[in-house]
Amino acid sequence: MRLFLALLSVLALAVVGCGKGKFGSSAEGKLDHVLVATIASNPTKLDPAQVEDGDTIDVLNQIFEGLVEYNEKNELVGNLAESWSVTDDGLVYTFKLKKGVKFHSGREMTAEDVKYSWDRAAHPDVLSGTVGTETEAGYMSDIVGFEDVVAGRSQSISGVRVIDPHTLEVRIKAVRAYWPMYLQYPCYYVVDKDHAGLKPMVEVSQMVGTGPFRMEKFIDNQEIHMTRFDDYHKGTPKLQTIKRLVAKDAQNRLQLYQAGRADWVPIERQDKVVVDRDPELKEALVVVDRAAIWYVGFAPKVYEPFRDRRVRRAFAMAIDKDRIIKQGFDSINQKAEGIVPPAVPGHDPNFKGIQFNPEEAKRLLAEAGYPNGRGMPPLKMYYRADRHDPKVVSEMVAQDLRANLGITVELAPTEWKALLELRTKGELPFFHLRWGADYLDPQNFLSFMLHSKAKENTLGWSNQEFDWRCDRADSLPIDQQAERFRLYREAERIAVEDAIWIPIYFQRDLELVRPGVTGIRRSSMGPLPHTETEVVWSK
């Protein structure tokens, strides 16, 4: 036995011996002007007309551009468009395009290319899930003539007209103050017609845009390389290369950072303890506000007791959000009173929603006919299975409901694909989900999600008081922003007081950014293209 142990320790020493120095070596010898960041999954699409998840958008944002973009102050500003104007009736927009913008292919971009790109995105064979369809609204549905293209009756959106090579005119169906914000969404990005084609892009060589970087290669489940586009219209980017390493789990990402192999990684909240222990990591920690809300939702359509507002309010009062934020999230995330996140203009900082009040909750539930939860049919709470945060919240919500209302909720962690399908069909009785901004306007959180006619509202909730305020605010022109925001805030109060959603928290993310990486710009939508980002190690 002693011999065996001796052998084992020799073996162990040998491993340690040859290991030291080789592993754990850091920043030395790293290349200047090369940004190495991780990405949490393989890109889900290559085509801007199709993309919708944040990680992939973050990649495509370097390659393709739209007429407008958000700046660091969350203002909508021109990008490929120099300026735009709208007629007095709020229906016709005229965009003046920037001159001298070149595609990666070297060809100059004109209004024809913008029109082609939009017509293409609407084309049924391009399989865009974001532009909309004939029957359901999407990002392009507001443009006159969109339906004819998406239904295959026409190749050209009649509401989009090329006036001259640098002027584009767009006619929309109804006044929508927030409509120009749609244009920062990837389905409106401008693609090179010589490479794109009327099918979804499936090759890297098709990804030709006007952005600061061009797609170099994409190795499945390994890495993505982008190299700078020297003729970029806002000046040559400082970085030479962007590498994104596919690292699907958080452990892996942290390890890549610690080993000096990646310089910018998102980390999970549970890894914060590791970061807190290490001064070097602590210095690199960045907390990022996201324009996203995590909420608990009810579907009165599916679960009968939820048709009673008192039951929903009782649930809302029984949940101790402060405890969730403190115990579950180390106080990193921000407690949500309302629905519209602070990162979105129009957020109401003074709003206080339904407060934690277990006594009142009990009373309300009894009044509704379920004293101590008796008589409630079995209830399942759905949430996404493969993520940590939803599990934490759902478990704590279930604890609170049991402790404060005597209701036993069965937790149903569900695989994402199946969860989406259930949500679409409106079969989730009680759930915990997230909604992130597609554009920074209250409309995207209120009318878009909860209006009785909204396609996202599969809950079976309709409230006329809520609906008319949204309808009115949606149709007000942009110069009446104050009035719009007032109406949205009223609508938000109605939804929260009627407890169709229980807002839990506004998301904040943690990242490690190595000192030496500078010039990262962000809006509440996420990182902006890396035009100013620079990486210098040698000093």
Partner 1 sequence: MTFVIAELTPGDAATVMAGEKGASNPEIIERYRKEFGLDRPFLERYGKFLVGAVQLDFGKSWFPPYGEIKGVVLSGLKLTALLAALAIGLAALVGVSLGTIAGIWHNKWPDQVATTFSTLGICIPNFVLAPVLVYIFAIQLQALPETWVPNPPEGVVWYLILPVVILSLRPAAVITRLTRASMVDTLSQDFIRTAFAKGVPFWRVMLKHALRNSLVPIVTAIGTSFGYLLTGSFILETFFRIPGLGFKSIDAIYQGDQPIIQATVVLFAMLFILINLIVDVLLPMLDPRIREGSA
> From the CB of 16, what's the least distance to partner 1, in Å?
4
Alpha-carbon gap, residue 392 to 387, rounded angstroms: 9
Instruction: Figure out which of the listed residues 9, 10, 19, 27 binds partner 1, where binding follows CB under 8 A.
Output: 19
Contacts of 116 (CB under 8 A, 6+ apart): 191, 193
Q: Is 342 in the site for partner 1 (CB under 8 A)?
A: no
Instruction: Figure out which of the listed residues 156, 240, 255, 334 binds partner 1, where binding follows CB under 8 A.
Output: 255
Contacts of 416 (CB under 8 A, 6+ apart): 384, 385, 386
Site string for partner 1, 188-217 (x = CB under 8 A): --------------xxx-------------
Under DSSP, is residue 352 helix (H, G, I), strand (E, B) or coil?
coil
> From the CB of 429, what's the least distance to partner 1, in Å?
17
Instruction: Figure out which of the listed residues 60, 91, 114, 246 binds partner 1, where binding follows CB under 8 A.
Output: 246
What residues numbered 220-239 form the site for partner 1, per CB under 8 A?
220-223
Q: Is 176 in the site for partner 1 (CB under 8 A)?
A: no
Site string for partner 1, 105-144 (x = CB under 8 A): -------------------xx-xxxx-xxxxx-x------
- Whether 356 and 295 have beta carbons less than 8 Å apart is answered as no
Q: Is 218 in the site for partner 1 (CB under 8 A)?
A: yes
The smaller minimum CB distance to partner 1, of residues 28 and 88, is found at 28
Q: Which stretch binds partner 1 (CB under 8 A): 45-53, 141-149, 164-172, 336-344?
A: 45-53
Q: Is 251 in the site for partner 1 (CB under 8 A)?
A: yes
The per-residue DSSP string of 400-450 comes to HHHHHH---EEEEEE-HHHHHHHHHHT--SEEEEEEE-SSSSGGGTTHHHH
Alpha-carbon gap, residue 80 to 120, rounded angstroms: 18
Q: Which stretch binds partner 1 (CB under 8 A): 241-249, 352-360, 389-397, 514-522?
A: 241-249
The smaller minimum CB distance to partner 1, of residues 78 and 297, is found at 297
> From the CB of 450, what's the least distance to partner 1, in Å?
14
Q: Is 72 in the site for partner 1 (CB under 8 A)?
A: no
The smaller minimum CB distance to partner 1, of residues 15 and 403, is found at 15
Pairing of strands 501-513, 264-267: antiparallel
The token pair that represents 478 in the structure block = 């942009």
Distances, alpha carbon 303 to alpha carbons 221, 379, 427, in Å: 41, 8, 9
Q: Is 423 in the site for partner 1 (CB under 8 A)?
A: yes
The token pair that represents 485 in the structure block = 């925001």
Q: Which stretch binds partner 1 (CB under 8 A): 168-176, 247-255, 294-302, 462-470?
A: 247-255
> From the CB of 403, what's the least distance to partner 1, in Å?
33
Alpha-carbon gap, residue 511 to 268, rounded angstroms: 8
Q: Which stretch binds partner 1 (CB under 8 A): 316-324, 363-371, 395-403, 419-427?
A: 419-427
Pairing of strands 409-414, 379-384: parallel
Q: Is 420 in the site for partner 1 (CB under 8 A)?
A: yes
Q: How many CA atoms lie within 13 A of 359 on its CB side?
A: 0
Instruction: Figure out which of the listed residues 32, 53, 427, 497 binds partner 1, where binding follows CB under 8 A.
Output: 53
Question: Judging by beta carbons within 10 Å of its beta carbon (0-12, 13-18, 19+), is residue 240 exposed, middle or buried?
Answer: middle
User: Which CB contacts under 8 angstroms, 24+ apart, belong to 17-25?
Assistant: 23/259, 24/258, 24/259, 25/259, 25/260
What residues numbered 260-299 form the site for partner 1, per CB under 8 A?
261
- The torsion angle over the Cα atoms of residues 481, 77, 176 and 161, rounded to 10 degrees, is 150
Contact residues toward partner 1 (CB under 8 A) are 1, 3-4, 12, 15-16, 19-20, 22-24, 42-46, 50-53, 124-125, 127-130, 132-136, 138, 202-204, 218-223, 245-249, 251-252, 255-256, 259, 261, 386, 415-418, 420-421, 423-424, 455-456, 458
